[in-house]
Amino acid sequence: MPALNVAFLWHMHQPCYREPDNRVFRLPWVRLHALKDYYDMVSIAQQHPDIKLCFNLVPVLLEQLQDYVSGSCSDLHLEVSKKPAADLNNEEKLFVLRDFFMANWANMVEVHPRYRELLGKRGRNPKPGDLADIARRFSVQDIRDLQVWFNLGWTDPVHFQNDPQLARLKAKGSNFTEEDKGLLWNSQQAILASIIPLYKQAWDSGQLEISTTPYYHPILPLLCDSNIARESMPGAPLPPAFVFPEDALAQITQGLDYLEKIFGRRPAGMWPSEGSVSRETVELMDRTGVRWLASDEGILERSLGRHLRRGHELAHPEILYRPYRLGSCSLFFRDRVISDKLGFDYYNWDPAQAARDLVARLEQSAEKLGAEAAKHIAPIILDGENVWEFFPDDGHEFLNQLYGRLSSSQKLRCCTFSQYLDEQHDLPGLTKLFPGSWINSDFRIWIGAEEDNEAWEQLLRARQAVQQSQKTLEGDPERYRQVMEQIYTAEGSDWCWWYGGNFSSENLAEFDELFRGHLRAVYKLLEMEAPERLFRPIAKEGAERQPVSQPIGFITPAIDGRVTEFYEWSGSGVYDVHLNGGAMRRSQSFFSQVHFGFDPGNFYLRLDPSPGSNLGSLGDARLKVELLSPVRRTMIFRLKEQQGPEGCLIAADRIVEMKIPFELTGAKAGESVGLLLILEEGGNELEKHPDGPPITIKVPGRDFEDHYWQA
């Protein structure tokens, strides 16, 4: 039987953590992910020689990694780790206690007895005001052990196997000395220095292909013309138009140039940042010699004007599992369900079962394709670093199971994207390309929210200042290069990923300061006064950030108690428990967020447990949905039995999901439904959300549906 081609693309990316005029990076994530994720992803594949893979390496990540290797930079967390524990001042001790547990507690902290002990001593949810008292209970030895374990916890298992020095430190477990720390830094430096040579060797051997992304990971379509967001977000408020296609071209060209400088060869392929595409950006990539690029199946569906699935089952692999030609570029579209299950679901499965499930899904499509299977390719594209901290043993068992099963399958063949194009030349053309990203086929994560729009306005203002200074800069090419480096950095997608309240981060304040710092540097280089607005945070904190955001599009999630696919709740509204009430309330709340949304016939609710909360611990708990308007009604959902009123659905696994037909609310189109959620057990109220005015949602009418789907 002809084998279906399977192409994995693992995307490796970190934004620029370097502050202008400072060689100490603000955040440590390049170094920590380099210790945990970059080396082993290749070394595991090398144990399975029949497996061919693609790694997408972002230039700004490689540049920062090179800075670590050369010794020309450090990061604040590394500097505090290296400093003798006895010499730390009070502020530095608080920094250690606050930041040195930034890891997945289940898989990176609690599996190490001493690290777990130190977490217990610090407390899992300390109030910021309590850290000073807690610090007094930490001895110098406690602090030193925490300095070591923060770094050991972020070290991949393969390095303990390869480095006897690291293995001895891990076995020692506690009572580390300053000399032990010196050995740890030597081992870290060796790991960092080994990564790029390993990728080069594997690329040269033909086992993997390296692709890249525009240099600072910008959303290219928004650089070319930010108003293009209206095509997928027709009702969203947008900032003044940012129209600088020359910046998009420069980011593409510089990215390709940098990879060629590092590896001695130019990548043929590109994963545009966040899979974001438009016809104009593909034309720019075509001009720079990019042979292939990739996006998401949702983009293909909207480009073709047809659905490819029945529910979650892929009904048309013959359409999705092939590239399409646009100009001289070949466009691949990732299998969204398999990619998202790998990224957001399989870590909760038994590794062997997860690997079997993934391979079975691919083999099922191969059987559907029959004799034509060898002409097709299944692209599986996802984050190659952040996912693994959720897997036991950093995903080693899962990856070995997966690669082993793929190698032995008679129905599947792993290949690279370029290898496939070398073999298959008869590709269909694509007459229309819908502009959007891999998340919900739009740009909502990066533009349209108040904070996002403020960031775009400030970026536009700085870019216009550069334009106005163009004649002056023409006589000083080095200064122009420095100015544009700051502009390009500020054009990166990561700043607006965290703005807007779509995602939360312990490092929100640092990301905000980094973004504004790059724009302030533009004005400094232009010898102009920076706008006062750049000296105040864009991100709203605490009471300033509204606890409720309203739905912005239809959703129809699967009611299975899991985030089945990343995008399925992306159009929902969110009530953030953490932004409603004081610190005591936050530390005791079982649920952290309530998502709510609708399609034309149903209302949907999702409750996310707080870190450390376990739905299985609730016993006979029940959820009461109190409808306050227009008709007062109480609906009771039992978590253990997963039962609700007739016509309703509930599923409780990793999260709680509920479906309520609008007809049960008594509300008509255009009317508002007010509701409260109450968690009860044994007749006692455990918590209520919101703890104040109810969540109010306007029932969508046909005009809402038409407005949303006109894209």
As a three-state string, the secondary structure of 505-518 is: CCCHHHHHHHHHHH
Name the band, by pLDDT with cuts 50, 70 and 90, for residue 548.
Answer: low
Q: What is the pLDDT of residues 27-51, one digit of tens each?
A: 999 999 999 999 999 999 999 999 9
Helix (H, G, I), strand (E, B) or coil at 314: strand
Find the CATH number of the domain harbouring 536. 1.20.1430
Q: What is the pLDDT of residues 326-366, one digit of tens each?
A: 999 999 999 999 999 999 889 989 999 999 999 999 999 99
CA 435 to chain centre: 20
Q: Are residues 487 and 569 in the same domain?
A: no
* The pLDDT value given to residue 255: 99
* The pLDDT value given to residue 388: 96
Where does 136-268 have alpha helices with state H? 140-153, 157-162, 164-172, 178-205, 220-224, 245-263
Q: Are residues 180 and 51 in the same domain?
A: yes
Do the domain assignments include residue 246?
Answer: no
Torsion sign over Cα 626, 658, 643, 616: negative
> Which whole-number Å values give the CA distances from 573 to 224, 229, 586, 604, 628, in the listed order?
29, 20, 20, 10, 19
* The pLDDT value given to residue 588: 42
Q: What is the pLDDT of residues 445-471, one digit of tens each?
A: 999 999 999 999 999 999 999 999 998
Reported as half-sphere exposure (CB side, CA atoms, 13 A), residue 406 has a value of 27
Q: Are residues 698 and 636 in the same domain?
A: yes
Name the band, by pLDDT with cuts 50, 70 and 90, for residue 696.
Answer: confident
Q: Are residues 492 and 626 in the same domain?
A: no
Beta bridge pairs of residue 602: 661
Mean pLDDT, residues 417-430 taken together = 96
Do the domain assignments include residue 422?
Answer: no
Rg (CA), the chain: 26
Domain final residue, candidates 168, 202, 236: 202
Find the CATH number of the domain harbouring 675. 2.60.40.10
- The lowest-confidence range among 139-143, 151-155, 261-265, 627-631 is 627-631
- Judged on CB neighbours under 10 Å (0-12, 13-18, 19+), 99 is middle
* The pLDDT value given to residue 582: 29
Do the domain assignments include residue 233?
Answer: no
Domain final residue, candidates 498, 515, 544: 544
φ, ψ at 475 (rounded to 5°): -85, 0
Name the band, by pLDDT with cuts 50, 70 and 90, for residue 704.
Answer: low
* The pLDDT value given to residue 542: 45
Q: Are residues 617 and 528 in the same domain?
A: no
Q: Are residues 556 and 538 in the same domain?
A: no
- The lowest-confidence range among 458-462, 659-663, 698-702 is 698-702
Q: Are residues 33 and 166 in the same domain?
A: yes
Do the domain assignments include residue 376?
Answer: no
Domain final residue, candidates 153, 169, 202: 202
Do the domain assignments include residue 590?
Answer: yes
Average pLDDT score over the chain: 91
d(CA 59, CA 329): 21
Q: Are residues 559 and 689 in the same domain?
A: yes
Q: Are residues 487 and 581 in the same domain?
A: no
Residues 689 and 591: beta-carbon distance below 8 Å: yes
Q: Which helix (H) or strand (E) holds 661?
A: strand 656-661
- Of the chain, the percentage scoring pLDDT greater than 90 comes to 72
Do the domain assignments include residue 327?
Answer: no
Q: Are residues 531 and 597 in the same domain?
A: no
Do the domain assignments include residue 67?
Answer: yes
Domain count, the chain: 3
State the CB neighbour count (10 A cutoff) for residue 702.
Answer: 9
Length of the chain counted residue by residue? 711
Q: Are residues 159 and 60 in the same domain?
A: yes
Residues 409 and 363: beta-carbon distance below 8 Å: yes
Mean pLDDT, residues 69-78 taken together = 96
> Which whole-number Å values give the CA distances from 600 to 595, 660, 662, 701, 705, in the listed order?
17, 12, 8, 7, 7
Tokens 């420095």 correspond to what residue? 482
Its domain, for residue 168, covers 24-202
Q: Are residues 508 and 577 in the same domain?
A: no
Question: What pTM was estimated for this model as a whole?
Answer: 0.83
Do the domain assignments include residue 476?
Answer: yes
> Which whole-number Å values give the CA distances from 135 to 114, 146, 373, 405, in the listed order?
17, 12, 62, 50
Name the band, by pLDDT with cuts 50, 70 and 90, for residue 653.
Answer: confident
Tokens 């990856």 correspond to what residue? 399
Q: What is the pLDDT of residues 575-613, one digit of tens each?
A: 877 554 322 223 246 787 888 888 888 889 999 887 656
Torsion sign over Cα 275, 280, 286, 287: negative
